[in-house]
């Protein structure tokens, strides 16, 4: 099966790296020089410069441009795709249906870990292609189907934007270790190992149980947790998801 990615940016490349292991991958973009650079990184892909009347008839398209570019790129597409997969944050199935012709439509929300085939991807759309959508996006990590676009917009906040939120935590933990006197290289190495080990633990344990198992009476963890609570970190994490979800809804209304 051939997949046609439209857009050659960060996410298109992340997806292509995983998908190329199983599928033929074509990337269509507006700048041939950028496309040639992408081909140097992923030699097995085909590249094609976006035409003013780009024929997508019968193709399985993964749409990878920024949400604000939907209208201008859609105006350059001709024919009816077989499936249109869209990774555009906030952009509704209704808006896609109005602007790009396709037999089936699926919204997809991957994350940056697609570049290492570890994305937590959410899918929703036409149920006729649910199984195929699963099969395709399991090549870039874990894929979960949800029944509503509201759920996909929430997933955008927690799994799409989530890696950036964790980056702030990782950086801050390392900064704390450096502030206490550990060198940066060792601090970063420890934080990397911390996330790796924690991800494994989280596969089979509730976070509250893991926390309780670390927190000794009158110990170091309890002292640290009390400081975290002073800063209302949990409350602000909840607010961050709320804000990111609201933004996805706002993008969808534009």
Ligand X SMILES: NC(=O)C1=CN([C@@H]2O[C@H](COP(=O)(O)OP(=O)(O)OC[C@H]3O[C@@H](n4cnc5c(N)ncnc54)[C@H](OP(=O)(O)O)[C@@H]3O)[C@@H](O)[C@H]2O)C=CC1
Ligand Y SMILES: O=C(O)[C@@H]1CCC=N1
Chain residues binding ligand X by CB under 6 A are 7-12, 29-31, 34, 50, 64-67, 69, 72-73, 87-89, 109-112, 160
Interaction of residue 110 with ligand Y, rule CB under 6 A: no
Angle at the Cα of 29 from the Cα atoms of 51 and 122, rounded to 5 degrees: 120
Our CB check for ligand Y shows the closer of 56 and 158 to be 158
State which residue, 62 or 129, has the beta carbon closest to ligand X.
Answer: 62
From 15-23, 138-146, 156-164, 180-188, give the range in contact with ligand Y by CB under 6 A. 156-164
Cβ proximity to ligand Y, 89 vs 108, nearer residue = 89
Residue 12 touches ligand Y, criterion: CB under 6 A = no
- Residue 156 sits in the site that holds ligand Y (CB under 6 A): yes
# chain residues binding ligand Y, by CB under 6 A: 4
Distance between CA atoms of residues 71 and 100, nearest Å:
9
Rounded to 5°, the CA angle 110-113-119 comes to 45
Which residues carry a binding-site annotation for NADP(+)?
A: 6-11
Question: Which spans in the chain are helix H?
Answer: 10-19, 32-41, 70-74, 93-99, 130-137, 149-155, 162-180, 184-204, 207-214, 220-230, 233-253
Distance in angstroms (rounded) separating the CA atoms of residues 122 and 142:
9
Among the listed residues 7, 29, 125, 160, the single contact to ligand Y using CB under 6 A: 160
Q: For residue 225, what are the contacts with CB-CB under 8 A and spacing of at least 6?
A: 211, 215
* CB contact set of 143 (below 8 Å; sequence gap of 6+): 121, 122, 123, 133, 134, 137
Can you tell me the distance from the alpha carbon of 146 to that of 91, in angstroms, rounded to the nearest whole number? 16
Please give the backbone phi and psi of residue 125, each rounded to the nearest 5 degrees, phi first: 150, -145
State the sign of the Cα–Cα–Cα–Cα dihedral 146, 241, 89, 118: negative
Residues making up the binding site? 6-11
Q: Which does 252 bind (CB under 5 to 8 A by kind): ligand X, ligand Y, none?
A: none
Q: Which is nearer to ligand Y, 209 or 238 (CB)?
A: 238
Smallest distance from the beta carbon of 65 to ligand X, in angstroms? 4
- From 26-34, 53-61, 142-150, 155-163, span contacting ligand Y (CB under 6 A): 155-163
Q: Which does 69 bind (CB under 5 to 8 A by kind): ligand X, ligand Y, none?
A: ligand X
Binding partner of residue 64 among ligand X, ligand Y, none, CB cut-off 5 to 8 Å per kind: ligand X
Residue 89 is a binding residue for ligand Y (CB under 6 A): yes
Pairing of β 2-6 and β 60-63: parallel
Binding site for ligand Y (CB under 6 A): 89, 156, 160-161
């Amino acid at each position: 099966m051939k997949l046609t990615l439209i857009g050659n940016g960060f996410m298109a490349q992340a997806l292509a790296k995983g998908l190329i292991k199983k599928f033929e991958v074509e990337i269509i973009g507006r700048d041939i020089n950028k496309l040639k650079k992408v081909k140097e990184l992923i030699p097995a892909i085909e590249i094609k410069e976006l035409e003013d009347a780009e024929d997508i008839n019968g193709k399985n398209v993964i749409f990878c441009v920024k949400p604000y570019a939907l209208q201008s790129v859609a105006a350059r597409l001709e024919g009816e795709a077989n499936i249109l997969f869209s990774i555009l944050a906030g952009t509704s199935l209704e808006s896609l249906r109005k602007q790009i012709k396709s037999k089936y439509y699926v919204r997809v929300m991957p994350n940056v870990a697609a570049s290492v085939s570890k994305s937590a991807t959410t899918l929703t759309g036409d149920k006729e292609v649910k199984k195929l959508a699963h099969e395709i996006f399991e090549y870039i990590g874990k894929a979960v189907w949800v029944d509503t676009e509201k759920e996909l917009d929430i997933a955008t906040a927690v799994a799409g934007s989530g890696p950036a939120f964790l980056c702030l935590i990782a950086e801050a933990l390392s900064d704390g270790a450096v502030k206490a006197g550990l060198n940066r290289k060792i601090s970063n190495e420890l934080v990397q190992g911390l996330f790796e080990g924690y991800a494994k633990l989280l596969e089979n344990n509730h976070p509250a149980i893991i926390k309780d198992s670390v927190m000794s009476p009158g110990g170091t963890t309890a002292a640290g947790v009390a400081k975290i609570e002073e800063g209302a970190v949990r409350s602000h994490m909840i607010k961050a998801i709320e804000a990111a979800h609201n933004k996805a809804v706002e993008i969808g209304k534009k």
